[in-house]
């Protein structure tokens, strides 16, 4: 069985078309043009706005012209994550999908169901002229995953709708009515590299791979290992005992993905080579013991000897400051919501590190549903890295989406779900960031909620979509539009 055999065919056909168009964050022009052409081919007034978002305006079904306008909202970009051995190029190659029982997966990469399933659902509704609905607006934003830039730059006069269905949630049977806000903490510095005297030295690459990784909002509470943090522990022990000296360090590649792998190149005195290798082996055993119940596939920590010795390295004081700051920085859950202890309130994701060629940078995504706690967290991170001599700035800040517990839209959606499935959906707020929190203040009178089919492990190569939930989700959206 392949994706072409799945039901409902209209949704899966649209999703397959998306998988054939490279659309990593930062490279969305091609998919934007595809979506505009798709909309026009099916009778919509479709265009790309000044922010790079795609907007489609769809006429109401005859007899429904006086019904309120509804926005179907999703984002066009996907997180480009792949396994260490994959040769996939996200800027040129299509995504290869395969059916694994009741799940659709991708070959060694993220699937792009986040938020390709939301986009495909909107596309299927646009092309189906048999449905009953009032006037529709489809908003498909750019670069949600790297900073929600499309939502931030959306003009406040673009939409006219009364209701908005965000199609970017990831669990069937749930209606999300609130989310955390976020702020990027960007730390940088430049340093004068020191020359390496190769006599009596060898070089090794310390690599961490095989971690689960995951979505830094949805899965930050699961205690998964962070590759950057693990390497910081190894480097702190090796450098602090004179077993190694840091040359370069890289890890992570997306601000909202828990880092799955990373590597550091170090210089090791020949007479301490055996002791260094023993330390790495001991760290590997320790990490696998600590995370045995979480990283069940095992943590791979290796030290591989290099044929060539680097000619440059990080100066003594700089390497100690950088390693110490990364080791000390808050990562993971900081606090749960006091009144809803099952939901994370405040967290940080130590997402990306790059130290090489005289430049060092660290990127962290902080989240919180309380603006004051978000600022407290970010100030603490700033203090930590400033003491290491780094310049720290905050970027892309946005407040959380505050829930409307008396939403008429949510009441209608709950009733429709109960009619279709015999039970009421869960109403909740989430720690992950949703574009509703940015779009909402631009349209203060718009009632909004977020729904989606069931996805697991988004932002990782293990991302998968639960096939039975897709038809259920599509029918639900169709019936909500009819009810509104």
Catalytic residues: 77, 144
Radius of gyration of the chain (CA): 24
Angstrom distance (rounded) from CA 117 to CA 169: 10
112 — alpha (psi -120 to 50), left (phi > 0) or beta? left
Which tokens hold the place of 353? 């590190």
How far is the C-alpha of 411 from the C-alpha of 413, rounded, in Å? Answer: 5
CA distance 419 to 48: 37
Record the tokens describing residue 369, joined without a space: 């549903």
Query: Which residues have CB under 8 Å from 297's CB, separation 6+?
Result: 210, 212
Q: How far from 306 is each of 75, 158, 266, 413, CA to CA, in Å?
A: 43, 56, 10, 59
The single residue listed with the structure tokens 């590299």 is 193
Q: What are the distances in angstroms from CA 443 to CA 152, 155, 157, 472? A: 13, 10, 9, 29
User: How many CB atoms lie under 10 A from the CB of residue 50?
Assistant: 9
């Amino acid at each position: 069985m392949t994706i072409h055999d799945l039901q409902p065919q209209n949704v899966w056909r649209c999703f397959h078309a998306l998988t054939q168009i490279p659309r990593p964050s930062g490279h969305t022009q091609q998919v934007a043009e595809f979506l505009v052409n798709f909309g026009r081919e099916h009778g919509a007034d479709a265009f790309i706005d000044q922010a790079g978002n795609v907007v489609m305006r769809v006429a109401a079904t005859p007899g429904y012209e006086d019904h309120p306008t509804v926005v179907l909202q999703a984002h066009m970009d996907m997180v480009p994550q792949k396994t260490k051995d994959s040769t996939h190029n996200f800027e040129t190659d299509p995504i290869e999908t395969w059916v694994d029982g009741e799940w659709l997966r991708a070959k060694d990469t993220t699937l792009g169901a986040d938020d390709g399933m939301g986009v495909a659902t909107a596309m299927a509704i646009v092309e189906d002229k048999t449905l009953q609905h009032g006037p529709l607006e489809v908003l498909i934003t750019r670069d949600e995953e790297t900073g929600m830039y499309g939502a931030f730059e959306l003009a406040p006069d673009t939409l006219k709708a009364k209701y908005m269905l965000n199609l970017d949630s990831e669990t069937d049977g749930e209606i999300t009515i609130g989310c955390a806000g976020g702020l990027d903490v960007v730390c940088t510095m430049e340093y004068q590299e020191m020359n390496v005297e190769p006599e009596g030295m060898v070089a090794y690459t310390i690599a961490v791979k095989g971690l689960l990784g995951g979505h830094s909002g949805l899965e930050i509470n699961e205690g998964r290992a962070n590759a950057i943090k693990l390497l910081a522990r190894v480097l702190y022990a090796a450098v602090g005992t004179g077993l190694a000296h840091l040359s370069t360090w890289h890890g992570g590649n997306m601000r909202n993905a828990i880092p799955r792998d990373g590597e550091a190149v170090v210089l090791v005195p020949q007479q301490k080579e055996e002791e260094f290798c023993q330390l790495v082996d001991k760290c590997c055993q320790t990490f696998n013991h600590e995370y045995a119940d979480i990283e069940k596939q095992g943590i791979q920590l290796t030290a591989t000897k290099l044929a060539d010795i680097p000619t440059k390295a990080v100066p003594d004081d700089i390497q100690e400051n950088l390693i110490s700051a990364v080791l000390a920085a808050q990562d993971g859950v900081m606090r749960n919501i006091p009144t809803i202890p099952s939901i994370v309130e405040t967290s940080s994701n130590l997402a990306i590190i790059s130290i090489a060629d005289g430049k060092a940078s660290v990127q962290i995504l902080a989240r919180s549903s309380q603006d004051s706690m978000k600022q407290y967290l970010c100030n603490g991170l700033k203090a930590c890295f400033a003491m290491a001599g780094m310049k720290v700035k905050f970027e892309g800040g946005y407040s959380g989406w505050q829930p409307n517990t008396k939403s008429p839209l949510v009441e209608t959606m709950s009733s429709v779900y109960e009619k279709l499935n015999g039970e009421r959906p869960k109403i909740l707020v989430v720690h992950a960031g949703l574009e509703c929190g940015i779009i909402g203040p631009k349209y203060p009178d718009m009632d909004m909620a977020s729904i989606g089919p069931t996805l697991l492990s988004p932002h990782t190569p293990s991302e998968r979509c639960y096939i039975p939930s897709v038809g259920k989700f599509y029918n639900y959206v169709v019936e909500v539009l009819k009810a509104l």
